[in-house]
Structure 1
Amino acid sequence: MKTRVLIAEDEPLMRERLITQLAKVWPQAEIVMVAENGNDAWDGFLEHEPAVVFLDIRMPGLSGIEVAQKIGRSAHVIFITAYDQYAIDAFDAGAIDYLLKPVQEERLYKAVQRAQEKLQALFSDVGVHKLATADSRTMDLSAILSSIRANMADAKPPKMKWIKASVGKQIKLIDVDDVLFFQSDTKYTRVVLAEYEALLRTPLKDLLDGLDGDQFWQIHRSTVVNAKAIAAAERVDTERMQVFLKGHPEKLLVSRNFTYLFRE
């Protein structure tokens, strides 16, 4: 019997890897939606009512934790993250699981087995799905989620204040507050300021964890903009927008997955 599954993961390679692995370890899984941010994940959950949800903890929009809180006991949640391992033992003892990136196929198989066991307990003899009751979970979901949030907050490294980047033959020390935007450029990252731009060898995806997410917004898979530098945003078509910067002529494209940042 097919099991309806939703996947929410904002990293394309991780997303494709998980889909491929699931096809191997769980042929009965019917992937009803693949979301690239938390907002779409929650909308998709309401629309498709999956029984199992794989959630990246840190995504644009709603975080995986926030989506899981909304889901509550209506489905089994399996977290996927590159971050701390504080809650692994707790999840291993409970009804939801916690996978670390890069997800190993053997570990995914164990998580799938656990999910299948939990699902079987929720089906009556005639195969009608019943919502989980408080006794059907060995641990309290809200307590686990609160614990993870607290541990993640404690584990957060300090946000970067300065970066070293190449400008011609020079290596400049740049205050991140002066940066208008970062943009992937082949094997480098462009660091664009009001008066000049520099090149950084660090990939954009590796910069994201060190930047203050409240100030630096990812608006495209290849672009992160300083919110303080945004003058305005306008719609390009039904799915995309573009950003105008203060005192800089370049316009930045906002992909569909990040237009939620500019909703009223």
Structure 2
Amino acid sequence: MPMPTALIAEDEELLAAHLRQELKALWPELQIVAMAAHGEEAVTMALTHRPDVCFLDIRMPGMTGLEAAAQLADDWEDTAAGGSPFPLLVFVTAYDQFALQAFDRAAVDYVLKPVQRERLAQTVSRLKAALAQRQQPPAALESAIEQLRGLLGVPAAPAAGGTAAAAPAGAPAATGGPATPLRHLQVGVGESIVLVPVDDVVYLEAADKYVRVLTADQEYLVRISLRELLPQLDTDRFWQVHRGHIVHVDAIERVHRDDTGKLTLRLRRRPERLAVSRMYGHLFRAM
């Protein structure tokens, strides 16, 4: 049986070194194949090295540990194409006990900062048992995606004839529409401010620290991140379908599924085709 492998993603160098040292003492057989300093690097390294376990810091600059895990789940090669099993996930966090209830509900393991050997020993024991009884690859990936949906607050699939239901409260990243959803976007155009009704928006696209706002025949830039804008929208009408895209539900004409199961949206008033990530594929199902 090959030696188990792991990736550590932690932006604080001393904490990363401490975790690596503690793992070496508790689990000598474990090979640390990669050390990442931020979320984007964690995704790249995990896709390259295909570790059995990923230790992901929750709060990293740029992409958080949860977002990195979601991106990794979306990019992980399908087992039908020769992909390896999706890694077991352990989150390293400084969240208080209330927030940790979300991790307990999602059955995802976590360790608190600063990492204590006794608690890490429990995690190591669980990981060894999980690796010994590892699920078949497709089931492992689907299970991880379902857990991540709960942690990220991704809405549940729409009820028949209804809209997407909000995820349970208590997750580290909660969603759900505001009491008074945004009705207009104030967009700077030259020396003027244009009020764009959200009803006119076809979709929104992340563009670094900006958001591209696309209507049927116009495009604007708003100085806000997609993550900041989403909580201000009516999430019954605006669905996040990818880390970088939010779509007006009424603007979706058709959802195409290819031979590999990947979903693509065709829009009513725009020529672009938008990919749906695995994290949000459950929102689209035939009635």
Query: 1:23-57 CA distances to partner (integer Å, 9 max, x unpaired)?
Result: 5232227652554179889xxxxx6795x73299x
Task: State the partner residue of 2:119.
Answer: 115
1:26 is paired with a residue whose SS is helix
Distance 1:184 1:25 in 2: 35
1:200 equivalent to 2:232? Answer no
Task: State the partner residue of 1:53.
Answer: 90
2:196 is paired with a residue whose SS is strand
Task: State the partner residue of 1:26.
Answer: 19
2:271 is paired with a residue whose SS is strand
Alignment check: 8 A CA contact 1:239 1:255 kept? no
Alignment check: 8 A CA contact 1:182 1:224 kept? yes
Alignment check: 8 A CA contact 2:203 2:215 kept? yes
1:224 equivalent to 2:256? Answer no
More strand by share: 1
Distance 1:236 1:222 in 2: 21
Of 261, 266, 276, which aligns to 1:244?
266
Of 194, 210, 213, which aligns to 1:191?
213
Distance 1:114 1:170 in 2: 60
Task: State the partner residue of 1:102.
Answer: none
Task: State the partner residue of 1:180.
Answer: 202
Of 23, 30, 36, which aligns to 2:70?
36
> Residues 184, 33 of structure 1: CA spacing in aligned structure 2 closer, same or farther, 3 A cutoff?
same
1:206 is paired with a residue whose SS is helix
Alignment check: 8 A CA contact 2:175 2:231 kept? no
2:90 is paired with a residue whose SS is strand
- Count how many residue pairs are aligned between Structure 1 and Structure 2: 192
Distance 2:284 2:175 in 1: 30
Distance 1:164 1:225 in 2: 18
Task: State the partner residue of 2:45.
Answer: none
Distance 2:129 2:224 in 1: 52
Task: State the partner residue of 2:105.
Answer: 69
Query: 1:148-167 CA distances to partner (integer Å, 9 max, x unpaired)?
Result: x5567899864641321134
Q: How far 1:190 sits from its partner (Å)?
A: 1.4
Distance 1:55 1:257 in 2: 24
Determine what percentage of the aligned residue pairs are the same residue: 26
Q: How far 1:254 sits from its partner (Å)?
A: 0.9
Q: How far 1:225 sits from its partner (Å)?
A: 0.9
1:250 is paired with a residue whose SS is coil
Distance 2:201 2:233 in 1: 11
> Residues 233, 171 of structure 1: CA spacing in aligned structure 2 closer, same or farther, 3 A cutoff?
same
More displaced stretch, 151-160 vs 161-170 = 151-160
Alignment check: 8 A CA contact 1:218 1:258 kept? no
> Residues 22, 215 of structure 1: CA spacing in aligned structure 2 closer, same or farther, 3 A cutoff?
farther
Distance 1:197 1:263 in 2: 30
Q: How far 1:219 sits from its partner (Å)?
A: 2.4
Amino acid at match of 1:53: V
2:232 is paired with a residue whose SS is coil
Query: 1:83-132 CA distances to partner (integer Å, 9 max, x unpaired)?
Result: xxxxxxxxxxxxxx66xxxxxxxx3x33x54532545898xxxx989xxx
Query: 1:58-94 CA distances to partner (integer Å, 9 max, x unpaired)?
Result: xxxxxx97774353xxxx632xxxxxxxxxxxxxxxx
